[in-house]
Structure 1
Amino acid sequence: MTASFDIVLPPGYRAGDVLRFHSRDTENVAEEVTPALLRKGVMLDGVPVVLTAPLCDGPGPIVCQGHADGELTPTLRQHIHDALLNILGLRIDPGPFLDAVRADPLMGPLARRRPGLRIVQSATVFEALTWAIIGQQINLSFAIALRRTFILQAGRQHSSGLWCYPEASDAARLTSDALTSRKFSRAKADTLLRFAGLVASGALDLAPGPDNTIEHIGQRLLAIKGIGPWTVNYGLLRGYGHADCSLHGDVAVRAALQRMLGGDARPDVARAEQLLQRYQPHRTMAAAHLWASLAPEE
């Protein structure tokens, strides 16, 4: 069954940023990216779904779809729509950050180079947080290989052939040995399965609400063995589009700060945190521009 949604891309939309983010796995296990189309597989409400979005530099309307291998309930339809907004980077409006740093001597010049830059998110909060756990303290290419292994072990294949990123209930059925036999460290495998088990059992609620704020969810995550501040902040950024995540522990953020400030050494974590505090409540967008500053000039 197919659900269709009319989504409007805003002025200054940078389709290339979105396509690059989703094309990091060159083997196209759960994502398929062409210059004008994004297809992504994800498990939603126990149903394999492929999200499709025809992309172009905005502004303008596009027709996005979710192709479900199961009943298209109203709840699933809403989750498909939410996932599409996530993967298209439409949660955080970059305008307030640009206004806030317009006269800032450090961040202002970076922001003016890429005024339409947005934070692209994972399709679901669970995907964002598991990706953060998988990617912590290892290089990107190895993290992508581990992510691929995780999808192939815990995910399910859509009828179109694309694999779907797993939900917590799928991941919780794995064993540590199944992961460690495929290059996961024991600590990373245990943390991943510990987190998945808590979500699958309902002991950890990832749905934000009046009695379960994002800040509260972050505190609950920090209490899980193996999950630290970087993992929480990165997961909140990619999962919820939370506007004020401080990525002061991120190596690339600190490298970008070094380049921006000059000097022979990267700022340490405490100094990076101090520098980023001046951009509250827009530290997520600050991180996005710092990451982008390390890429080749467009």
Structure 2
Amino acid sequence: MKPYKLALPPDYRLDDVLAFHRRDAESIAEEVSAERLRKGVLLDGVPVVLDIALPPAGAGAEARVSVQADSPLSAAGREQAREAVLNILGLRIDPAPFCAFVKKDKLFGALARKQPGLRIVQSATVFEALTWAIIGQQINLSFAIALRRSFILQAGRQHSSGLWCYPDADSAAALSVDDLTSRKFSRAKAETLLRLATLVANGELRLELADDNSIDQISAALLAVKGIGPWTVNYGLLRGYGYADCSLHGDVAVRAALQTLMGADQRPDIKQTEDILTRYSPHRTMAAAHLWASLHPRD
């Protein structure tokens, strides 16, 4: 696959992208520097490194993309690579419609103006987004990152460059529950992770969007999987598909940010948060992004 260039928006927030992908200080599947992002992922069963040179943001800025595959990619694999690059660079959801929607809004208007150009950075693949949601649910971030690293080492494959590639469903489904519980996964988390991987690997659960497989159908199919609830589905839709109207009303950080934004004495409960976020449909994903970002304001 030939290298190519990808235009970046004038207000592109490069630091946000780099921060998302360098969350793991001991990362084995990502290499992040000030001007380069390398991401390892299994695409169509092939170890691939997405090598992205990122110039300082500005008018006319371009990312230079090199897809380094250990064996020739099929047409489907090449398309997956292009889609993965858009995901990890946060180029799925245009932030402008949300900013216009809340321009005069008492709750989000000022917040959106303070955070121009804010985008949703995604996982490389839908499967990565969903497995990360399962891994990270109800545990602290540092422990979740450690479990993710262990999962990559157990189910992933190493690229010829040495970078590890995030697992796909087939490689993850080859694990056993004991493989994961021996690495500090709870049994429930291990069973849910492998249940998802097996369903995707054998074709019972389709994750690709198609005329006969909409976001609503995928959401319903995911909710039918034992161990997967609404928060996991919405987080997966956000980080995996870049779906613009995910409601993260069950997210503790979203609720904490809303409390601060409203100047309330206590966090809104899940139902109150859902009601508040409903006002911002069909832009609830960007509402969540601005709430998350408000907890870690830029200097």
TM-score range relative to shorter protein: over 0.9
- Is residue 167 from structure 1 mapped to residue 164 from structure 2 by the alignment? no
Give distance in 1, aligned partners of 2:236 and 2:76: 24
User: Which amino acid letter does the alignment assign opposite residue 293 of structure 2?
Assistant: A
Aligned-residue sequence identity (percent) comes to 67
CA deviation profile, 1:243-271 (whole Å, cap 9, x unmatched): 00000000000000000011221000000
Note if 1:251 corresponds to 2:249.
no
Give, as a single letter, the amino acid of the residue that structure 2 aligns with 1:45.
D
Q: How many residues align?
A: 297
- Asked if 1:158 is matched to 2:159, the reply is yes
Alignment partner, residue 292 of structure 1: 293
2:212 pairs with 1:211: yes
Structure 1 residues 263-274: aligned runs within 5 Å: 263-274=264-275
Displacement of 1:106 in angstroms is 0.6
Deviates more, 1:72-81 or 1:31-40: 72-81
Please say if 1:26 is aligned against 2:31.
no
AA partner of residue 192 (structure 1) = L
3-state DSSP of counterpart to 1:3: coil
Aligned pairs for 1:1-298 within 5 A: 2-55=1-54, 56-59=56-59, 60-298=61-299
Distance, in Å, in 2 between the alignment partners of 1:81 and 1:232 is: 24
> Any conservation in 2 of the 1:89–1:119 contact (CA below 8 Å)?
yes
How far has the Cα of 1:121 moved from its partner? 0.5
How far is 1:3 from its partner?
Answer: 3.3
User: Shift in Å at residue 139 of structure 1?
Assistant: 1.0
CA–CA distance in 1 between the matches of 2:122 and 2:260?
26
SS state of the match for residue 257, structure 2?
Answer: helix
Check the 8 A contact 1:14/1:58 in 2, yes or no: no
Kept in 2, the 8 Å contact 1:5–1:81? The answer is no
Question: Structure 1 residues 174-183 or 48-57, which shifts more?
Answer: 48-57
Shift of 1:58: 3.4
**AA paired with 1:8?**
A
Map Cα deviations across residues 115-153 of structure 1 (whole Å, 9 max, x no partner).
Answer: 100000100000000000101111111111100000000
Q: What TM-score, normalized by structure 1, do the two folds share? A: 0.98
Question: Mean Cα displacement is larger for which, 252-261 or 69-78?
Answer: 69-78
Which amino acid in the other structure matches residue 162 of structure 1?
L
The SS at the match of 1:249 is coil
Change (3 A) 1:218 1:240: same
Q: Secondary structure at the match of 2:62?
A: strand
The 8 Å contact of residues 3 and 77 in structure 1, kept in 2 or not, is answered as no
Amino acid corresponding to residue 58 of structure 2 in structure 1: G
Note the aligned Cα RMSD (angstroms).
0.9
Q: CA deviation at 1:169?
A: 0.2
- The separation in 2 between residues aligned to 1:288 and 1:25, in whole angstroms, is 20
For structure 2, which runs of at least 5 residues remain unmatched after alignment? Answer: none
Determine if contact 2:46/2:73 at 8 Å carries over to the other structure: no
Question: Take 2:75 and 2:12, find their aligned partners in 1: how far apart are those partners?
Answer: 29
Tell me, yes or no, if the aligned pair for 2:49 and 2:68 is still in contact at 8 Å: yes
C-alpha displacement of 1:65: 1.2
Gaps spanning 5+ residues in structure 1: where? Answer: none
Deviation above 4 Å: which 4+ runs of structure 1? none
Secondary structure of the structure 2 residue equivalent to 1:102: coil
